[in-house]
Structure 1
């Protein structure tokens, strides 16, 4: 948002933009906040590599399953009250690990926090979209998207500061306090909702949640078990069936949870795909590199967080101008260039070795953050531009669902491929270890390093072998994510509208028949009350 536009905003609009940006920053920061703490959590709780994946993914899975319902609830009952309710649930769930810190309890607590986040996240974008005039909405969405893109890095940095002075429990204390303060602050912003108050779509909500949840479970378990394992094949088939049922239901009910005709708009559809791929690979990458910094380079949590900090600069700077670039050159060229930059970063990471230093990692991280900046704001603006005003809650939910489904699958793929590669490579060393040490060493590098440290000089060969096994798994995971990104970028390039089809960010054409059929008086319907 340039200085002229910013100067023309009212105090209420500036506060609304600030609060909404803080809300989305906290929700996304919470996804990545535990990355720096994973080695400490593994050491303190005995969590395996698979459990560590679910401690992170339980949050994103719950968020992805319920975010569409969260957007619909905001449209019907009010986006502000939905934001407040979500923040309260988020805060209470974040406080649960203060009472019990077993791996299973952590997974449950994170999933409960994801339920609250599913209410918060679409509310932040829909409050902005309904609270700003059309000529300034694109800039506001661009700033929101920039903050959302940087949220993961801010979460890693904040948790690193906390871990420098306190234990990993302090992260949950910080999330609890922040959520409580934001829930109180939200009472100061005006309410907005869809004045037609359409009935909810419980079957659509159920089938969408099942489709997302089952597919993510299958993606998480497949690398370790294989795609033909019953615990993988069953959820995968169930997810496809649930997705098909969701499509049938949404095409038949009078008031669908998600109007599937929105996907006929190429900007809306391709924007959703771009956001999904971008978050899939970036969150999978964060999980890998955070552990690399701490377990391979030996960085303390704060230092590993600071190592990510340079990514914020190009990400925020490029996000500020990328909507203008997309309007000038077309959504296709800007976003697909960004995706290719992200994919190239992952492929470079496959060349990392045990003795690679930080500078080898820095320039790929800067390249990735530039690619994220090119993708995030234009794709989000395209999603909003293809939606009638009174359905901004659902549009925001689609954007957020794309982010969370991508993040959940990315963490699942990144973490589970890493775990499978590590287990495969470390297996030859296990028979020579004492029986009590075999399982923890086979589960994670963090446990192997702890056992090697207790063994003194005789444990050094184990530490080196375990590091090599981790790098092997990291290479496999990075390659999988990198090729997926490049392939996705090339496919999306044929689908994404070019310059002539890309309207200015957040421009809406109310005269379109698809919109007027459901809109009535869209600007009045979404006016804050």
Structure 2
């Protein structure tokens, strides 16, 4: 007899919905819409928190005396904890109730956001952000799984499209919100906003229909620890790469450890009767396409954020609030195309949609190379809209590809896989963009600094920010240093954009070959290649 869980790899699952308190067929339209609204509020809170503090790091450093390493971990501790706890938190939501998981996550998130308002030290901020990551790990998968279990399978595409659009635009919401808050108040207002919003959502969440697995299986604690450790090690290596360099033993050691732990997790899960995640799902081309594409999409989105926010602020001279408004048009095509994906995906097929979307992102990255030290705003706006259309085409269909490949009883785990790929992609995008930007900047500016004192050369060679600080102390020569450093920074921006564009284009071709089309099958020559390989193995 086949072991339990094999059926999870079947795309057209006939397993009925597994909701104990509110089956999709029994829920009113109003209840479903209310579920989508509250889920999207919870999701936007989690996604906003990923980027909101970036606008306040300067003020935090002044008030708390945080070092550059501490500032980095004030941001990264949230992402690291969130990424490594997503799968176990999703499984707990499936077993004990997804609404309960959402409430627990909101309470933890709210309390963690209050802590920095009482103890304002750098170390407390790091611990509080890590605790907020614990709460976010329960919130994020619960929001999507509550939506998917509220709707029958043939009606989910619209709701999932809205959720996916909000997930992509969540960073913009965080930037705009923090920019407005910092315009009128000090940086603790960001934590007040997080704490109050999360607390306000708790009583509203109690009005949502609940869902859980009707036949809960024992939680796979060994699998949970292995996958948590694997994701933590891998993401830690990615996060440290821009600081230490990819050749640093800590970086490649973490990456290798993460890969080995992931392999061990796969071996353990194949032998368990009730696995946390049936790894055979990755043999399903629809599920694998969704996971790979979501990773690349968020690599592209957060790589864009990392490079362009610096360019807009340091080169174009925009304030934090002006930067948020300048980049906010990015969310319009993303939301519109995500919400209408239910209409065009059945007509075009997953393969063509993903291929076109990723190629548009690559073209948008290449178009951004027109940015120079004196570029007008439209040089940013036009490529940004092209890139946004590419993300909007892909983000909802790839999310749906993951969720529809898994039975309703495991929607929390499926949502966690979807969320984990987003976190890994975001971390990888920031790491790749940051590493390439920094290395090209140093290569470009170093030969031009020979006429400056050694101390100035060292400072200006590390970053444009330090070069701007040094320029203020140099008098007439300061403008020369500033011009050289800005030109070198633009070279770094061009190099990172080009490299990411090539990476995304290559990925578009590979995923286009692998992804199923309208008929649910891959391209014919890929199927023939797989058939010949299977024949040789037999």
Name the TM tier (shorter chain).
0.7 to 0.9
Q: Which residue of 1 aligns with 2:193?
A: 174
Matched ranges for 1:113-512 at <5 A: 113-222=132-241, 225-427=244-446, 429=449, 432=452, 443-453=462-472, 459-501=478-520
Which one scores higher on RCO, CA 8 angstroms, separation ≥ 6?
Answer: 1
Structure 2 residue runs of 5 or longer lacking an equivalent are 1-26, 522-538
Matched ranges for 1:31-110 at <5 A: 31-38=50-57, 40-41=59-60, 53-99=72-118, 105-110=124-129
Give yes or no for contact 1:36–1:305 (8 Å, CA) kept in 2. no
Q: What is the total number of aligned residue pairs between the two structures?
A: 494
Measured after TM superposition, the shift of residue 225 of structure 1 is 4.4
Measured after TM superposition, the shift of residue 131 of structure 1 is 1.5
Give yes or no for contact 1:53–1:415 (8 Å, CA) kept in 2. no
Between 475-484 and 190-199, the greater mean CA deviation after superposition: 475-484
Give yes or no for contact 1:323–1:381 (8 Å, CA) kept in 2. no
Between 283-292 and 18-27, the greater mean CA deviation after superposition: 283-292
Closer, same or farther: CA 452–368 of 1 in aligned 2, 3 Å: same
Residue deviations 1:482-522 (CA, integer Å, cap 9, x gap): 222112111111111001118xxxxxxxxxxxxxxxxxxxx
Structure 1 residue runs of 5 or longer lacking an equivalent are 1-7, 503-529
Give yes or no for contact 2:368–2:384 (8 Å, CA) kept in 1. no
Measured after TM superposition, the shift of residue 48 of structure 1 is 6.8
Closer, same or farther: CA 182–451 of 1 in aligned 2, 3 Å: farther
Measured after TM superposition, the shift of residue 12 of structure 1 is 2.0
Task: Quote the Cα distance in structure 2 between the aligned partners of 1:287 and 1:173.
Answer: 25
Secondary structure, in 3 states, of the residue corresponding to 1:36? helix
Calculate the TM-score normalised by the size of structure 1. Answer: 0.86
Residue deviations 1:147-203 (CA, integer Å, cap 9, x gap): 212111122111221122223332222122211212232122122111222111122
Task: Quote the Cα distance in structure 1 between the aligned partners of 2:330 and 2:145.
Answer: 27
Task: Quote the Cα distance in structure 2 between the aligned partners of 1:496 and 1:101.
Answer: 49
Task: Quote the Cα distance in structure 2 between the aligned partners of 1:108 and 1:295.
Answer: 30
Give yes or no for contact 1:42–1:447 (8 Å, CA) kept in 2. no
Give yes or no for contact 1:90–1:115 (8 Å, CA) kept in 2. yes
Q: Which residue of 2 aligns with 1:15?
A: 34
Measured after TM superposition, the shift of residue 224 of structure 1 is 5.5
Task: Quote the Cα distance in structure 2 between the aligned partners of 1:490 and 1:152.
Answer: 28
Q: Which residue of 1 aligns with 2:533?
A: none
Measured after TM superposition, the shift of residue 360 of structure 1 is 0.4
Calculate the TM-score normalised by the size of structure 2. Answer: 0.85
Measured after TM superposition, the shift of residue 36 of structure 1 is 3.4
Secondary structure, in 3 states, of the residue corresponding to 1:190? coil
1:30 aligned onto 2:30 = no
Residue deviations 1:353-397 (CA, integer Å, cap 9, x gap): 222221101011101111111001111111111111111111111
Residue deviations 1:259-318 (CA, integer Å, cap 9, x gap): 112223211110111111101110121122112111211111111111012122211111
Secondary structure, in 3 states, of the residue corresponding to 1:121? helix
Give yes or no for contact 2:269–2:275 (8 Å, CA) kept in 1. yes
Residue deviations 1:195-214 (CA, integer Å, cap 9, x gap): 22211112212221222222
